Amino acid sequence: MTIVFKVSDNIKEKMIKYYEDLKRDNTPPYAIFQAQEEDTIITLYNSGKVMFQGISADIDANMWIDQERHLNNRIIDINPKKDDKKKSEDKELVTVSSIGSDEVGTGDFFGPIVVTATFVSKENINYLIDLGVKDSKKLTDTKILKIGKEIMNNIPHVTFILDNPSFNKFTQKGFNMNKIKAILHNKVLVEMIKKEQGHYDKIVVDQFVYPQKYYEHIKESSQKATNITFMTHAEDKCLSVAAASIISRYVFLAKMENMSKELNIAIPKGAGTKVNEIGVQIAKEKGFNYLNNIAKLNFSNTTKIKEKL
């Protein structure tokens, strides 16, 4: 599969930073870089065009298409028009009882990864719609803090928090982010399935890796959730995934707030320049090794922080 589209200048800068540690040694003519992540080769050209090649090209491309939509209000359609069957499947997801999972924190240098699975029965569909549930990425943190607790009190869910020391141990063993995410999604899905004992019609996961690779990542897990429906932008189509996204974000925000209070400093989200500045400040006050407790050390921010110490 090959996907090509032109990115905006601000997204271009983000891509250069994101793929910094994944660059190939040889750069094609007229290209800024060529990188490889899992099964996908990514080439960014001087013109601003980016090409994704590989089995999971659509998954990797959709991450940046989302960025264009959220930051620049650009709609990039790489998919052919849906046929009637596909439209019917998407509509069905809104009307059936489902278990869905989503995670938060994978793009943030500071803070844990939070993954949640929820069960949304047919009876709770209208309740969530009336509450304004949608993808947490499209809601302000204020809105999430307002409705997150209510959803947790009324919707069956399982949440797992992977703290930073545990995350750093995973990466030291050679686990990449997609493998870690797959293991965590499987963990909460297995527990949610146990709770609901077949009361659901579908299991839905917001697709972040090709399904075959997902199952490869969890092959060593003692218990596995199977018969999963993987789809991109699942949080827009399935209320259980949207609810899981909001709960995960709610828990993540609470953890970040607690961290800020403990350190008496506002801990920034994301992985930008401000993150590096705060990282340097914390490392100077508490020692570089302290970052292992609060940050994901495989991010390129770690190198930048070291250089400024």
* Confidence (pTM): 0.75
Work out the burial of residue 181: count CB atoms within 10 Å of its CB; fewer than 13 is exposed, 13-18 middle, 19 or more buried: buried
| Between 247 and 63, the higher pLDDT residue | 247
pLDDT value at residue 111: 97
Of 134, 129, 136, the C-alpha closest to 95 is 129
Residue 297 backbone zone (phi > 0: left; psi -120 to 50: alpha; other: beta) = alpha
pLDDT digits (tens, 9 = 90+) for 118-174: 999 999 999 998 888 865 567 888 889 999 999 999 999 999 999 999 999 999 999
Print the SS3 string covering 81-132.
Answer: CCCHHHHHHHHHHHHCCEEEEEEECCCCCECCEEEEEEEECHHHHHHHHHHC
DSSP state of 20: G
Q: What is the number of alpha carbons within 13 Å of residue 289 lying toward its C-beta?
A: 0
Alpha-carbon distance of 17 to 160, in angstroms, equals 29
